[in-house]
Structure 1
């Protein structure tokens, strides 16, 4: 995944990464964590009635130049550009969201990274109660910044679950099958236009913090820190700017 206007230095500055980068687990972990804490998961393009661009250069312009966020294809796309620039071995895979009441197609996109002889699931673009760091692809549980996650192999797919308020909630399932970037263009159109997707139904913005996460859904803001939940009624546009650094009225 590349773009003519992608610059690794600009990306590292955007996510607040200082120091040297190497194609190793330590760098991979820092990249995931820092991006999750600096580039918000958001669907303002969809809510404005537009289909997010899948042109790599336009994604770079949106996320790095104009300091916006996006959903999985955009922010995992930028993440993949950084992986390429650093020299990681990786590929895209399709994932099936499992938080809907009915079975869904594989409209989510994740990144599988092969590093130091092991495969890791990396995902900077899921939102909600998503992973907080790379997760080794094998059955078992992992604790990341105090949050618990579980990976199970079910019917040929790895299923990722999060422990939310003492209950395991399935997030999505994926298989170790590489997919090309172009394969996600239909999923992007589906997510941006179908009336049953959460992206067309709700205004969303989600970003992690070192000890929790911020979740904005329409006019409700959830601030979760060290397991404590605070709910606030807010004005969506103002909250976007105050809590996520997104100014919908900024044109440059």
Structure 2
């Protein structure tokens, strides 16, 4: 994944990361967490009836800008694509994987994107674009069936069959499937049909309602339709938002300027 206008320096500035970077697990973890807390998962373009662009240069222009001060985020292809560019800049190998969302009541196609990053002899599942119960740090594929405490959330990977993996999150003391994937590598262009589907199909949540999510060290902020939810240390507060308040809320709570 490469864009001619990607600059690691500007990317680090955009996410507010000021520490030295190395091609190691500690840096990958820190960058993932910092991006999740700085760049919102959002579907503003879809809500504006635009098909999200998967041109790498346009992703960089939208999320980072030419000065590291852009005020937009994106959904899974965009934010994971941007993270992949950072991995390339660090000299790390990775592959994209197709993921099947599994929290719906019916079987869904493989429309979600995640990354497997190879670092220090490990394959790390990295995902910066799954939304409300998305990972908050990488999980090594070698850590199957091992519960992972990440801030105030609990995750684990299970492997129903060799080479098959399912990410689970613990909700109300139950392990709930989030998505499944295998180790077959996907090319960037393979996601174009799924992106068009998520940008345009009336059955997708991205078309149906506004969806904005930003992680914090204590939890997350979410705007779903006209409902603003803020979770701190496992406690969630909910408030209704009037249409006239949305633009100010996006800027104040999510750092977004449409």
TM-score (normalizing by structure 1): 0.95
Q: Does 1:139 align with 2:183?
A: no
Q: Does 1:152 align with 2:158?
A: yes
Map of 1:242 onto structure 2:
252
Mapped partners of 1:110, 1:131: distance in 2: 11
Q: Describe the SS at the equivalent of 1:186.
A: helix
> What is the Cα deviation at residue 165 of structure 1?
3.0
Q: Describe the SS at the equivalent of 1:154.
A: coil
Map of 1:77 onto structure 2:
81
Map of 2:18 onto structure 1:
18
Q: Describe the SS at the equivalent of 2:64.
A: helix
Q: Deviations over 1:182-241 (max 9, x none)?
A: 000011001111111111112100010011001110111111011111111113333212
Map of 1:45 onto structure 2:
45
Once structures 1 and 2 are overlaid, which stretch shifts more, 30-39 or 61-70? 61-70
Alpha carbon RMSD of aligned pairs, Å? 1.1
Map of 2:228 onto structure 1:
221
Mapped partners of 2:53, 2:239: distance in 1: 32
> What is the Cα deviation at residue 77 of structure 1?
0.5
Mapped partners of 2:173, 2:220: distance in 1: 17
Mapped partners of 1:215, 1:166: distance in 2: 22
Match among 168, 176, 180 for residue 183 of structure 2: 176
> What is the Cα deviation at residue 63 of structure 1?
0.3
Q: Please list every run of 5 or more consecutive structure 1 residues that lacks an aligned counterpart in the other structure.
A: none
Once structures 1 and 2 are overlaid, which stretch shifts more, 8-17 or 160-169? 160-169
Q: Describe the SS at the equivalent of 1:70.
A: coil
Q: Tell me, yes or no, if the aligned pair for 2:71 and 2:257 is still in contact at 8 Å.
A: no
TM-score (normalizing by structure 2): 0.93
Mapped partners of 2:151, 2:256: distance in 1: 25
Mapped partners of 1:85, 1:31: distance in 2: 12
Mapped partners of 2:13, 2:239: distance in 1: 31
> What is the Cα deviation at residue 157 of structure 1?
2.3
Mapped partners of 1:135, 1:41: distance in 2: 20
Q: Deviations over 1:5-29 (max 9, x none)?
A: 0000000011111121111000000
Q: Describe the SS at the equivalent of 2:135.
A: coil
Mapped partners of 2:209, 2:158: distance in 1: 30
